[in-house]
Amino acid sequence: MKLVIVESPTKSKTIEKILGSDYRCLASLGHVRDLPKSKLGIDLENDFEPQYVIPTKARKTVNQLKKEVASADQVILAVDEDREGEAIAWHLAQALNLKDFERITFHEITPEAIKEALKNPRDIDLNLVNSQQARRILDRLVGYQLSPFLWKKVMRGLSAGRVQSVAVHLIVEREKEIEAFKPQEYWTVKTVLEKDKKTFEATLVKIKNKKIDQLGLDKEKARQAAQQLKKSEPIIAQLQQKETRRHPSPPFTTSTLQQEAGRRLNLSSRQTMRLAQNLYEKGYITYHRTDSLNMAESALKQAEDYLKKEIGPDYWPGQPRFYRNQDKLAQQAHEAIRPTDIWQHPDRINLTPPALNLYRLIWQRTLASQMSSAVLIKTSAEIVAGDYSLKANGQIIKFDGFLKIYPSALKENPLPDLKAKDKLTVKKTLAEQHFTQPPARYSEPALVKALENLGIGRPSTYAPIISTIQERGYVQKNPEKRLQPTEIGRIVDELLSQHFPEIVDVRFTAKMEEELDLIAQAKKKWPEVIKSFYQPFSKNLEDKYQSVEKKDLTEKTDRLCPECQSPLIIRMGRYGKFYGCSNFPKCRFTEPFKNNKTGVHCPECQTGEIVEKKSRRGIFYACNRYPDCRFALSDKPTGEKCPECSALLVKNKEGKIKCSQKNCHFQKD
C-alpha cells in the first residue's frame, strides 16, 4: 500500500478516489511543526536557528501518520506547491523521520495531473523552505519582541506584526488624508438637446474658446450660461466617429480573484480564499494561490474548442491569448486560476450558492480571457451655440466579443443620427454645483490591490493580513464596508511610525519581500537576510525601552462609580474609549463612553430604546433589550417614520435620509 499525505481531508478524499485501492491518502491538517507559543523559539546566538516543536493539536495526527508510515510500502508527500506547502512537506519529513519518500506537485487535482505528477517525483525544494522559514522567523522576531514593548508603553493585549502593521499604516494615512481634505466647489452646465424627436445630453466645455477649467466656472457664470443656452440655437460643428476595441482581462491570479469577488460577489478576502480552497480540493479549479497569468496548452485548446462549438467561431480570436505579468518576480512556471475542465459549465454542477457563484466567476473570466475583443463605435459631437461650445459623447457595441460571457459596467449610449451643421433644439439646461471628493477609504478589494501594487505580501498572505488587522481591533469596517482605523489602531500606528519607522515603511517592507523571493531563488542565504534586519531593529528596541515613556490613555472625570463610589475614569480598550472604575480590578464597573442613546423607541418590541453599539465591523444601532429583542440597523435612526410604509427613517453616512425597510425605496430630497 502506498501512502499519500496531503494537507486537508477534502483534498485527501478527492485524490484517493482518483488513485484507487492501491493508495491510501491521509491529511496532515496543515503544519505538523511550528515555533513554540510559550517562548521566542529562535536561537539568536546561533544564526537564528529555529526551535521547532510539534504543537499539542498536531500530536494525535503525527502519531497516526507515524503508524501508517511504518506499514506503507512507499510514502508520497503531495502537499501544495507554494512555499507554505513546501515547508509543510519538509516538516512532515522531519516529524515522521522519513528517509525514503517522494515529493510530487500539481496545479490541479485531476486524474491526468495526479498521474503525471506520480511519474515525475522530485526532492523537497529547500530554497522554498528557507524562504518560508525566513518569513516565519522575521514575523516571530517582530511579534514576540515588539508586542511586549506595546504592552509596557501603551496597554496590555496589543500586538504588532511585520506586514500587518504596514497595512494598518496605509489605512491610517488614508484616514488622515480624508480628515485633512478641504472640498473645492465647482460647477458644470448640462443641456438636453433634441434631434428628430430623440434627446441626448451635452456638457458645456468652452466659453469664447476658453476651456471651462481655465475660466473657473462659478455659480453666477454657470447660471448665466444655462440661461443663455436656453435661448440659443445649437448647431453641430464637428462630428467624429471611430471604431475602438476593448480587450478581455487576463485570467485570475490570487489578487485579482479577491478583488473581483469582493466587487461582484461581496465576498471578503478570507471568504474568497476559503471557497477557492474548497473548489481546488474538490478538483473544480487549479491551484488558487498564484501570481501567474499563464494557462496550460491543454486549457488553451479546451477554450478554443468550447468557443468554436458552443459560442460561435467569431468569438475565437484566431489564436490563443497570452498575458504577461508586470511583476518580474511572479512565478511564471505556475498557472493562473482556471477551471480544470472548461466544459464543466456552472449550470451543470452541484455546489452551494457561494461556491457556485465563485466558480461561475472563474469560469467566465477564464473563457473570456481567450475570446475576441469587443468592438465599439464611439461618436463625439462638438456643438456650438453662440459663444458656447458643448460636447456630447456616445457609444454603441458593434460586436460584443468577450462581453457575451463576462459582462461589464460598459453600457451603450447611442446618439441620434447626427450630421455636421444639423440644427438642434434645447429642451432643458441645468447648472449643477459639485464639490471635489476626498480619497475613498479602502475596501478589502482596494487594499489587496494596493498591497500588490506596493509589493507588500504575496498571494498566500493577502487574506490573513486583512483578517488579522480586523481581529486585533486596529481596523474595523464601517456600514459601507470600508476599512477605518480604530482609536487604538491609530495610537499603535503613531507609536510605530515615530519610533520604529522601518516597521511601517512601505518601501522597506517591499524590499524585505524581494529578499524573501531571492532566498527562494537561492540568490541569498536566509540567516544573512534576517541578520541585516534584526541587528538594527534589536538595538533600536533596546534604546526605545529606555527613552519612550508609557502612554497614559486614561482621563479623569467628575463622575463617581455607581457601585463603589470611587472616581470613574475614561479608559482605552480594544474598541475605543469607555468609562471604568478607578478601583479596578476590585470593582469591574464599566459603561460606554459616548452617550449611545438615540431617543428612538424600538419599533419591534415597543419597550426598548435603540442605542449605538460597536463591534469589530464598526458602529451599528440596536435595541438595548438585546438578546430579548434582536432589532438592529446599520444606519442611525432619525426618529421619524416613513410616510410610505411606516418603518423608521435612517440617516446614512452620506447624510441622506431614507427608509430602513429594504423593500421600500422612499428617500428624502
Q: Would you place residue 332 in the very low, low, confident or very high pLDDT band (cuts 50, 70, 90)? A: very low
Predicted confidence at residue 205, as pLDDT, reads 95
**Higher-scoring residue by pLDDT: 645, 26:** 26
The predicted-structure confidence for 551-560, as pLDDT tens digits, reads as follows 888 889 888 9
The predicted-structure confidence for 50-91, as pLDDT tens digits, reads as follows 999 999 999 999 999 999 999 999 999 999 988 999 999 999
**pLDDT at 101 > cutoff 60:** yes
What average pLDDT score do residues 204-219 get? 89
**Higher-scoring residue by pLDDT: 652, 186:** 186
Predicted confidence at residue 15, as pLDDT, reads 95
Catalytic residue among 280, 287, 406, 442: 287
What average pLDDT score do residues 314-332 get? 78
pTM above 0.85, yes or no: no
Predicted confidence at residue 326, as pLDDT, reads 64
What average pLDDT score do residues 80-105 get? 94
Gyration radius (Cα) of the chain, Å: 31
**pLDDT at 654 > cutoff 80:** no
Which of 182-186, 197-201, 289-293, 591-595 is predicted with the least confidence, judged by mean pLDDT? Answer: 591-595
HEC assignment per residue over 553-614: CCEEEEEECCCCCCEEEEEEECCEEEEEECCCCCCCCEEECCCCEEEEECCCCCCCEEEEEE
Q: Would you place residue 662 in the very low, low, confident or very high pLDDT band (cuts 50, 70, 90)? A: confident
Residues in contact with 637: Cβ distance below 8 Å, sequence separation at least 6, in sequence order:
598, 600, 610, 621, 648, 649, 650, 660
What average pLDDT score do residues 267-276 get? 95
* Nearest alpha-carbon partner for 382 in 391, 374, 373: 391
Looking at residue 479, what DSSP letter applies? Answer: T
Residues in contact with 606: Cβ distance below 8 Å, sequence separation at least 6, in sequence order:
none
Alpha-carbon gap, residue 337 to 657, rounded angstroms: 43
**pLDDT at 616 > cutoff 80:** no
Predicted confidence at residue 166, as pLDDT, reads 95
Neighbours of 75 (CB within 10 A): 21
The predicted-structure confidence for 348-381, as pLDDT tens digits, reads as follows 999 999 999 999 999 999 999 999 999 999 999 9
**Higher-scoring residue by pLDDT: 410, 249:** 249
Q: Would you place residue 494 in the very low, low, confident or very high pLDDT band (cuts 50, 70, 90)? A: very high
**Higher-scoring residue by pLDDT: 185, 599:** 185
**Higher-scoring residue by pLDDT: 330, 3:** 3
Predicted confidence at residue 604, as pLDDT, reads 85
Predicted confidence at residue 346, as pLDDT, reads 97
- Return mean pLDDT, the chain: 91
Residues in contact with 119: Cβ distance below 8 Å, sequence separation at least 6, in sequence order:
none
Predicted confidence at residue 417, as pLDDT, reads 93
What average pLDDT score do residues 572-590 get? 87
Cα angle value 434/438/442 (rounded, 5°): 135
Active site residue 287: yes
